[in-house]
Amino acid sequence: MPYGSRMHPLDDLAGKHVVFLSWRDTRNPEGGGAERYLEKVAGGLAALGCRVTILCAAHAAAPPDEAVDGVHYVRRGSKLTVYLRGMAALATRRFGRVDLVVDVQNGLPFFSRLVTRAPVVVLVHHVHREQWGVLFGPLMARIGWWIERSFAPWLYRRCQYVAVSRATRAELGELGVDVHRVAVVHNGTDRVVRVDETKSAEPRIAVVGRLVPHKQVEHAVDAVIALRAEHPGLHLEVVGSGWWEANLHEYVAAHGATDLVTFHGHVDEGTKHEVYARSWLLALPSIKEGWGLVIGEAAMHATPAVAYSSAGGTRESVRTGVTGLLVEDQDGLTEAVDRLLRDAALRERLGTAALAMSHSYTWEHAQESFGVVALAAIEGRMIDAQDPDEGA
């Protein structure tokens, strides 16, 4: 039986039908850490005997209907029309009996509370306050931010929330969400992927993630340009793909940095972990991160991270001065990178602590914690503002 004996308290989830509504899945070319989280917690519920359905946008990389590890994927519509598809599926009871809806609010929710009587859990990785203006024009940005900051908190005012970090929980509180209805279920870290790579003889920096504007990969490019004279052989390895990729190639070329930067594109897990293993540090100059899954992945190879403290979840996934360095602005990012490249002893100390910390957050823990929230929601109970495994 999953998670132990037949008398495990989550055994009551067996046979329940949980529907996740998410505009992306892990097979989507634009998928990232949030979708990895979705896949893991959905898989954890399936392992407990739940019937699990994920409705997400259609894309060319996967079939419209697919079952993977006990999870049924239904891919319909575009990244915009998928919201209407999700509402219609619930309203027409296309999925049959639904015991719980998990509404993944990636800026916009699926407005599921309007079309179902089933209990709803709202899953939020981070608040998109800063991102609306980056991704959309003024009108759409104002509409999107109004929905996120005003309408969604009102619509889901009686629903259970799940946040992936305390920083996200606090941000939801600023929007008027009662933090006593927000349970924190952290990301996990995958088991170590063994690779033959060791730290490069020459300084290498990794950037891993979706290539979209709010990830601000340009800040890492600027850092290596500024430091190239001080650190011979310095190189930036960028892993990932996204709709902003062509712009980044143009940016690198325009700044005469093609010899400093390698774009690997979307790669398999083994190749990604080889990059982590040979890199001296990970740069994460993102505007906002609910947690920063790549921080834990890099840590598995004793690779410390440099990130912005204002990103939110990074204040929990990075213990500044212990497992990595948090900075306030772009100049601080360049200075921190320079410091770590110069100081091998500091780099090794932070990397060793990052490796130890990476073992503290497991997907098994996250799956069971999410299961606690799911069962409570189905039973009409609310999980208070803490990690469910801490005994809410």
pLDDT tens-place string over residues 325-378: 999 999 999 999 999 999 999 999 999 999 999 888 889 999 999 999 999 999
| Beta strand pairing call for 51-56 and 17-21 | parallel
Q: Which residue has the higher pLDDT, 1 or 261?
A: 261
Provide the mean pLDDT of the chain.
Answer: 93
Percent of the chain with pLDDT over 90: 82
| Beta strand pairing call for 281-284 and 305-308 | parallel
Q: Which of 162-166, 204-208, 234-238, 382-386 has the lowest mean pLDDT?
A: 382-386
Given a cut of 60, whether residue 391 has pLDDT beyond it is no
Q: Which of 16-20, 117-121, 288-292 has the lowest mean pLDDT?
A: 288-292
> What is the per-residue pLDDT for 136?
84
Q: Domain 204-358 is in which class?
A: alpha beta
pLDDT average, residue stretch 205-210: 96
pLDDT average, residue stretch 145-168: 96
* 61 φψ region: left (φ > 0), alpha (ψ -120 to 50), beta (else): alpha
Q: Are 232 and 54 in contact (CB under 8 A)?
A: no
Phi, psi of 122 (to 5 degrees): -100, 120
| Beta strand pairing call for 120-124 and 71-75 | unpaired
Q: Which residue has the higher pLDDT, 120 or 360?
A: 120
> What is the per-residue pLDDT for 62?
94
Task: Outline where DSSP puts E strands in 10-81.
Answer: 17-21, 51-56, 65-68, 71-75
pLDDT average, residue stretch 211-229: 97
Band of the pLDDT at 386, cuts 50, 70, 90? low
Residue 381: name the closest of 369, 368, 367, 392 by CA: 392
Residue labelled with tokens 């055994």: 11
3-state secondary structure 204-249: EEEEECCCCHHHCHHHHHHHHHHHCCCCCCCEEEEECCCCCHHHHH
Same fold, 9-188+362-390 and 204-358: yes
Q: Are 291 and 54 in contact (CB under 8 A)?
A: no
> What is the per-residue pLDDT for 193?
78
**Superfamily of the domain at 9-188+362-390:** Glycogen Phosphorylase B; (3.40.50.2000)
Given a cut of 80, whether residue 392 has pLDDT beyond it is no
250: helix, strand or coil? helix
Given a cut of 70, whether residue 247 has pLDDT beyond it is yes
| Alpha carbon distances (Å) from 252 to 223, 255, 363 | 12, 5, 36
pLDDT average, residue stretch 46-50: 96
- Taking the domains of the chain in order of start, what are their residue ranges? 9-188+362-390, 204-358
Given a cut of 80, whether residue 134 has pLDDT beyond it is no
Return the ∠ at Cα 28 (arms to 55 and 2), rounded to 5°: 60
Residue 72: name the closest of 48, 95, 93 by CA: 95
pLDDT average, residue stretch 242-254: 96
> What is the per-residue pLDDT for 389?
53
| pTM of the entire predicted model | 0.85
